[in-house]
Structure 1
Amino acid sequence: MERLLNSCVSLHLLSKSLDPDKNALYWNTEATSQYLTVGATTSLRGFIRHYKMTMYPLMANLDHAVREGKDQLVRTFDVTSSGLYEKIYEGEDRVETFIGGMHGLAPLASKAVVSAFDLSSFKTVCDFGGGSGNLAYEMSRTYPSMSVKVLELPPVVEVSNHFKPDDAGKLDVEFLAGDFFVDELPEADMYVFSMVFHNWHDDNISRLLQKVHSALKPGGAILIAESLYNDEKTGPVKTAQRCMLMLALCEGKERSAREYRLLLEKNGFSDFKARYTDGLHDVILAKAGESNKGKKGC
């Protein structure tokens, strides 16, 4: 135990002093209290548990991912990419751990995403794959006249109450069960995709963008939160590291703002804007092109 505690002190996870009898006393640092304790609203324990269960085993096979150029789900978990979420959502405990992991990171990113652009003109919003709803709640909190729906798979909706903020009753947020690739999309002025597109190949993203473009009202927009490469793909480090994670995890990858612009313009979007933030996610806003006017939701 002494070795463990001293190691934690060296990592600035604990502080240490000696009492008059030379007995060691240990206590949490401010960062540990904020991010690693059970009761902290900004706790990252769920995220760390998710990485322990999923990402660490996958990254142990990174050498195979580089040699083969594909994900390592079969080698690591004996499951294909199409069955990944079935495994992740296998039982309520697993669902809670995964969504809890994403929820732990969300407060570090949501404010930057919501404030990257003035979104006050959008009154109805749908957040696709919004997990615990942290981003949706932050949007409703920032823009009180905004109504936000979170479209998530049924197992996620079932555990969503576990992550409600204290002020949820004052916020206009609703959870809907569905699959955005399969089901009809709810009507909205703006569709939001936060850390969704990096899971998919360009072909699947284009298929989804076409569906979104058809469903948007005239003047509607799409908001994308991802970790963006610079155009030369020489950084930033956070994006390069995530891109290696995606190599082992799925068919997707991290992209530059230029690559997203090309994808969006190819599928009917215009008025492209990108904002790099100091947070975990960068933000893109684009509007449905003029050809979308008069279309009905799909």
Structure 2
Amino acid sequence: MTTTDATAPTVGVDPGPLIRLTIADCGAKVLHSAVQLDVFTALADGPLDAAELAAAAGLHPRLAADFLDALAGLGLLTRQDGRYRNTPLAEVYLVQGRDTYLGGFIDLTNETLYGTWGRLTEALRTGEPQHLDPDKGGFVGDRHADPEKMKRFLKGLDAFSDRMGGELAEAVDWHGYRSFVDLGGARGNLAAVLVNRHPHLEATCYDLPRTGPIFDEHVGRLGQTGRIRFVGGDFFADPIPSADVIVLGHILHGFDADKSRELLRRVYDAVRPGGAVLIYDRMIDDDRSNADRLLSSLHMRLVSRDGGEYRIADCRDWVRAAGFTDGGARPLLGTHTLVAGHRPGSRHE
């Protein structure tokens, strides 16, 4: 039998935020479909009316009007006198061929999020990772077994690393350093951004050996062959190449605290005296109140057996425990945190 608490509020509480949260994934799926159908690229040369845009994107007329107007309502298109055009946000980030294009990242999230988050309730009850088999490469799943699938996966990551590399190039004073290693650097995209901004740097990408051919192809296409070297290995079993700076981007969130501390001790041994470690992730704010960061951590726990985001304070503790002096923390891209640590000693001694 259900009873009603007479003291519970029954009027004056707007359910709107709850309803919007309940259907929040609908807006995301509209964006994903628009990227897949290249709606924004179709508008790159100027506005189109509804029929022209529907024809260019291959939209069925039964759904086209609601779909296009929903994109306008989401702030991605504008509609004036029956003609649609991209908003500045869409024009910069959603037109294929632009250096700032984020469509690959959007495709990646569309591919990876829904299968796992649809199993959240099961994961909460069992504690087990969902959908992506941890025995086939952790949260990367079986993509390494399929080179074309892996390329699509990495293309999505490249859309992010282009922006992160540009911001990291400005956030750190690289002039006193001669070399860096991007740990888990995939096909070398972030390393390429850094050496383009700071040509004096010697760059190394360190990742699993099977990533080597994909690295060679991508770096060759970027015209960086010979400027960035690839070293294959296992973070925990093989020597980490020595350098002035070692970058760990989206690495520690794949491990638990003990493994993260172990890895940072190995990194300390590889950083030259006077050098630095740079760690970026969507770290959880120290009072654990930022919902976006906590959702990111939940995602890592859904797709990996030991992963999860970690508090900024915890990361700084791990850095100090490894032997580095604390270089502080700062925001990156508005969504990430950069924690730095410095190895005592004189550079290039």
Question: In 1, Cα distance between the equivalents of 2:279 and 2:79?
Answer: 44
Confirm or deny: 8 A CA contact 1:269 1:289 kept in the other structure: yes
Structure 1 stretches lacking a partner, 5+ long: 19-23
Question: In 1, Cα distance between the equivalents of 2:137 and 2:222?
Answer: 36
SS at 2:272's partner residue?
A: coil
Mapping for residues 196-207 of structure 1, pairs under 5 Å? 196-207=251-262
Question: In 2, Cα distance between the equivalents of 1:83 and 1:155?
Answer: 12
- The reply to whether residue 108 of structure 1 matches residue 163 of structure 2 is yes
Question: In 2, Cα distance between the equivalents of 1:127 and 1:257?
Answer: 21
The counterpart of 2:104, out of the listed 38, 42, 46, is: 46
- Listed one character per residue, the Cα deviations across residues 111-153 of structure 1 (whole Å, up to 9, x for unaligned) are 2223223232221111011234232123223332211111122
- The reply to whether residue 266 of structure 1 matches residue 266 of structure 2 is no
**By how many angstroms is 1:81 displaced?**
5.2
- The reply to whether residue 226 of structure 1 matches residue 289 of structure 2 is no
Question: In 2, Cα distance between the equivalents of 1:170 and 1:129?
Answer: 18
Residue 39 of structure 2: aligned partner = none
Confirm or deny: 8 A CA contact 2:203 2:227 kept in the other structure: yes
Residue 21 of structure 1: aligned partner = none
- Given the superposition, is the C-alpha separation of residues 42 and 81 from structure 1 closer, same or farther in structure 2, using an over 3 Å criterion? farther
Structure 2 stretches lacking a partner, 5+ long: 1-63
Farther-moved stretch of structure 1 (24-33 vs 208-217)? 24-33
Amino acid at match of 1:38: Q
The counterpart of 2:94, out of the listed 29, 36, 39, is: 36
Confirm or deny: 8 A CA contact 1:34 1:43 kept in the other structure: yes
What RMSD, in angstroms, separates the aligned Cα atoms of the two structures?
2.7
**By how many angstroms is 1:82 displaced?**
5.8
- The reply to whether residue 157 of structure 1 matches residue 215 of structure 2 is no
**By how many angstroms is 1:33 displaced?**
3.0
SS at 1:12's partner residue?
A: coil
Residue 85 of structure 2: aligned partner = 27
Confirm or deny: 8 A CA contact 1:92 1:155 kept in the other structure: no
Question: In 2, Cα distance between the equivalents of 1:82 and 1:89?
Answer: 8
- The reply to whether residue 4 of structure 1 matches residue 67 of structure 2 is yes
Question: In 2, Cα distance between the equivalents of 1:63 and 1:70?
Answer: 11
Q: Which has the larger radius of gyration?
A: 2
**By how many angstroms is 1:271 displaced?**
3.5
Farther-moved stretch of structure 1 (131-140 vs 57-66)? 131-140
Residue 186 of structure 2: aligned partner = 131
- Given the superposition, is the C-alpha separation of residues 204 and 82 from structure 1 closer, same or farther in structure 2, using an over 3 Å criterion? farther
Residue 53 of structure 2: aligned partner = none
Residue 173 of structure 1: aligned partner = 228
SS at 1:221's partner residue?
A: strand
**By how many angstroms is 1:283 displaced?**
1.1
SS at 2:338's partner residue?
A: strand
**By how many angstroms is 1:43 displaced?**
1.6
- Using the size of structure 1 for normalisation, the TM-score is 0.83
- Using the size of structure 2 for normalisation, the TM-score is 0.72
- Listed one character per residue, the Cα deviations across residues 69-123 of structure 1 (whole Å, up to 9, x for unaligned) are 3422xxx24x235643460222122111111111111223222223223232221
**By how many angstroms is 1:171 displaced?**
8.9
- Given the superposition, is the C-alpha separation of residues 139 and 105 from structure 1 closer, same or farther in structure 2, using an over 3 Å criterion? same
Residue 253 of structure 1: aligned partner = 308
SS at 2:273's partner residue?
A: coil
Amino acid at match of 1:58: T
Question: In 2, Cα distance between the equivalents of 1:181 and 1:101?
Answer: 27
Confirm or deny: 8 A CA contact 1:229 1:240 kept in the other structure: yes
Residue 288 of structure 1: aligned partner = 343
Confirm or deny: 8 A CA contact 2:216 2:225 kept in the other structure: no
**By how many angstroms is 1:9 displaced?**
2.2
Number of matched pairs: 281
Confirm or deny: 8 A CA contact 1:247 1:253 kept in the other structure: yes
- Given the superposition, is the C-alpha separation of residues 49 and 287 from structure 1 closer, same or farther in structure 2, using an over 3 Å criterion? same
